[in-house]
Structure 1
Amino acid sequence: MILVGNQRGGAKNLAHHLMKDENERVKVHQIRGFASDDLQSAFQESYAMSRATKCKQHLFSLSLNPPKDTEISAKEFENTVDRAEQQLGLEGQPRAIVLHTKNGRTHAHAVWSRIDHQEMRAVQMSFSRRKMQDLSREHGWQMPRGFVRHEERDPRNFTLAEWQQCKRAGRDPTKTKEIFQDAWAISDSRTAFGNALEAHGFVLAKGDRRGHIAVDRNGEAFAIAKYVGVKAKQVRDRLGDPSKLPSKNEAHRIASDRTIKRLAELREQEKLRARQRVEQLSRQNAENKKRQSLAQEELKKRVASDTDKRKQEQDARLRKGLMGLLDRVTGKRKKTLQQNDLENAQAEQRVNAQHERLRAQYVSAQEAIAKRKKEELTRGAYIRRELANDTRQLEERFKELSSESDKPARRRQSLPRQKRRIRSTERPSFER
């Protein structure tokens, strides 16, 4: 079972996340030690107690994920949470357990409050990740290699960010030696040792002097005996005759081809990602245009309604009959008409300002989308160009090393030594 935990705050967001309906089934299996009987209120209790301390990450959240095709009962989840609680030093702390079922698989989440209400301080969480990894292995299930050991990740599955980081940082010689020694320790045959090295981008090969070497994508050769730290005879005894292995050039080609293949995959992924992002921005552009049209239509309807209502009010001010005649004589009707014209002008100004504001919002949104689209296209083109340059450099590096190895070895010609008599004038003089 894979156990991954971390300290965190955000009680409200965590409770909302655990109760989201994106899972097929959500069940609050246990709430212990809290006064409340629902997650939102329980986590808020922990937050309220943390206010009396300086602790911001007052919760510890642990996810429990069993391997694929493995059914785990609620009782087993609870037992694992109990053991994790002991390992983490959270015995007696308030906790909650939530079971999620998604795509037919059940996993669990356990959340503890780190605040000790008696001491009014947070429980110290030291080496929690290592403790959870040790507990994960107790079940005896086959664990992912990358989870058992971080260095076991296959470099042929590297991401774009990992590739760029490796380019910047280079290879750490200490880590390289650890890779060779770890591969040697877990291998009992040439096949196993070669597979262990292959997981790190090395190809087992024969050296120029009948020794065993490992070659990386750059054509660098690493002597097995030197990096493992054993004698050459021990290497031969375990790995056998090196003549059956590929040559240095062949191994370099194998390692280069693997990396070049992965770089090609990254280029295609980046091209697809950029295209999807541009399509998404285009959809946003269309949606923005649609919202603008709807807003304009809504404004027109509102303006028409306000105009009708204002016209009715203005017509009601104009009296008819004898009273209307009196208003004409006294000049009151003229003043009423002037007031109506002023109101109409002010209303027209307000409408024009609203139209202008909507248009400005639309233009601003369009410009922002166009800018992001341009940046996305520029970024995608730069990354693809960078990956293409990396591929070309690997190929040129292989050609360069291959051409050097194809040249016949030059024998050092010994020139005859010319003896020359030293004249007396050339002899050094010594002061007495």
Structure 2
Amino acid sequence: MILKGSQRAGAADLAAHLMNDRDNDHVSLYELRGFVASDLHGALSETHAISKGTRCTQYLFSLSLNPPIGKDVTEPEFIEAIERAEVKLGLSNQPRAIIFHEKEGRRHAHVAWSRIDGVEMKAINLPHFKIKLNTLARELYLEHGWDLPEGMQVGGGKSPYNFTLAEWQQAKRAGLDPREIKQAIQQAWAQSDSPKAFKHGLEDKGYVLARGDRRGFVVLDCDKNVYALSRALGIKTKEVKARLGDPADQLSVAEAESLIDHKISQQLRGFIKAFKDKQAEAWQPLDAERQALKDQHRADRAMLSAFHAKRQKDELKDRLVLRTGLGGLWDRFTGRASEIRKANELAAWQAAKRDQCERDNLVFDQMVERRKLQSKVHALRQSQQAERSVMARMIGDAYRAKSLGIVRPTDEARTMARKRAAERFNIGADPPDHADADKVKPPKGPDLSR
């Protein structure tokens, strides 16, 4: 599975992100270890408070574990991977929180550790943690028999779709897949060999090149959303400058916004809005189906949880009871009390494993249903992405038409032109009287006397 970790601060933001049940079908707080608080917000706030006694600013280590698409991973398999990562990183016995997310028919896990050693009051150093996590991820792929991603294969390339949370959120606000935005900008870059060609390539896809407010190049879409060019391309700023030159030669963001307003007519903006409304409307049946499935799955899990709680209570009553008084003293002397404790511990462990297997089986069955729905979602995404490509080309045509001073006639203008032509050439009119024939001038044709 893909392991992605980072040192970070922002306890409140991380807790809010991990417990977000709006963008996830299901969120479950699996474990809180080493904290006084019983909720995630309180637990991570504890770490923040303890870090105040040190100079550490990035007091948390966050890790996400993502299995391949279509692969079911049980809770014990996730926990084993987390334990192995913990040992490799040197975070054994540190306070940690484990959260499971389910979205689009896939289950993945998140872990947040405290980096603060509470005894020595200093942050635990995490050297080369990316290399260690990549090594462990490759081991997990090979152990489970999963196909290695290109980035993990020997000689494989790095995926161009490693975007940050901020990029993902910006793209969601724009109503696009962030991979789609990056892909469009990267294609324009790959297909151009000069600044002019790159600008035209961006215009073909509905984007405008500009100078950032602070430094470097940025790209604006037709809705004036701003994207950092070097980040979208996945290369350094100096490489971008080497091809495009000085950013000062480009329009500022404010000037680019004014240019977009000038280039895109109100008629085209209305068409774009109608296009977006149509695409949003197409999602409504799938969103309703997803919400209904989500509610049903949550109800099934609540029912299973209530059943487990009742069964655990009944089984607790049926377990052997230690005697008191002289009988209890005799049991301790003969060793029978120790045997009863061991038998009860074994029964409790077996019951816990059984309940865990039942939870996993229910989750896997529900993910099968969710994946069927996700296939419809994927098909609609592909269809709408193709439609957006056509729209982008139309916007690019509008850019070029305005830049070249081409004025496209409206329907009303075309109608008037046809009417004037009809009046001039008597198209569709009654033939003129012979008396007035000399007043009618035939259309001037080509001069054949030469």
**What is the TM-score of this pair, normalised by structure 2?**
0.39
**What is the TM-score of this pair, normalised by structure 1?**
0.41
